[in-house]
Chain A
């Protein structure tokens, strides 16, 4: 999918706003957009975003964007995922200790809703129909594999169009990053790992 600079800018502004409103509704807590950007980035930028945080592992979910050669990724540090699950299930933060299937379903649905909030805006601005697939969890070994393959694939001129939104549920310090990445190489590599 090709984007003009103007469309990138507008979609980033509107998409981020839609995503934060959706996240607020889902979690029941105010959500702040800490950063939003739409730009051409190197594969290294994507790899760095997927690397585990210093404090621990991150949970990543992926959805393929069909017909537009893209992928949506949601990353949240593991401990914060547990807190998010509590908010989604309307229970006290600190209740969930281990992610069960039902909890993973809640996080997957969060990715689904946040991705579509962004894509609804993108579809409207570009007047195209964009369909997203079902979400999948990516394990830490999947992420390691993807990151290593991206590093190997990177050539000097390779870039991907990335819409990145950093969100925070301020009260509970839950940080999430949503990436919409449009690049054939990245899509193919993600397909191998989901």
Chain B
């Protein structure tokens, strides 16, 4: 499987932000991109099909990102993409298994480089 066939799940309650991330990834050649609007929806999608990588927001209604990471453990590749950039939150995310943390607003290159690095 080519790296660009990777199944990537975008989890963010903002349709706008999901669209931004999807456009960045599709421009880089990643065509297998799925979306979820909150943590609960993400977990349901993961039950059906495990993604190769998740880009996960922190603050979401129903279930936030940190709770998702805690539920999934370290078996999943998760990059947090959030406006919350407080040291304690970043540490908590990484402690529970996040492999990367991108703070919004980001440069498109940051997302591309981080995704490439994790999927390599």
Contacts and interface: CB of A to CB of B under 8 A. Distances in A.
B84 A134 contact: no
A132 B59 contact: yes
Contacts of A113: 83, 104-105
B37 to A, nearest CB: 10
Contacts, number: 63
B87 A124 contact: yes
B13 A117 contact: no
Contacts of B84: 116, 119-120, 131-132
Contacts of B59: 112, 131-134
A120 B61 contact: no
Contact of B86 (A26, A123, A133): A123
- Classify chain A's interface size: 20 to 34
- Classify chain B's interface size: 20 to 34
A89 B89 CA distance: 29
A16 interface: no
Contact of A106 (B13, B16, B85, B89): B16
Contact of A117 (B14, B15, B83): B83
B88 interface: yes
B60 interface: yes
Contacts of B16: 88-89, 102-103, 105-106, 108-109
Interface in A84-135: 88-89, 101-103, 105-106, 108-109, 112-113, 115-117, 119-120, 123-124, 129-134
B68 to A, nearest CB: 15
A13 B105 CA distance: 20
A116 B89 CA distance: 12
A189 to B, nearest CB: 21
Interface of B: 13-17, 19, 59-61, 82-89, 103-107
Interface of A: 22, 25-26, 88-89, 101-103, 105-106, 108-109, 112-113, 115-117, 119-120, 123-124, 129-134
Given A102-B19, A113-B83, 12 more contacts: A109-B16, A109-B17, A112-B104, A116-B85, A117-B83, A119-B86, A124-B86, A124-B87, A131-B89, A132-B59, A132-B84, A134-B60
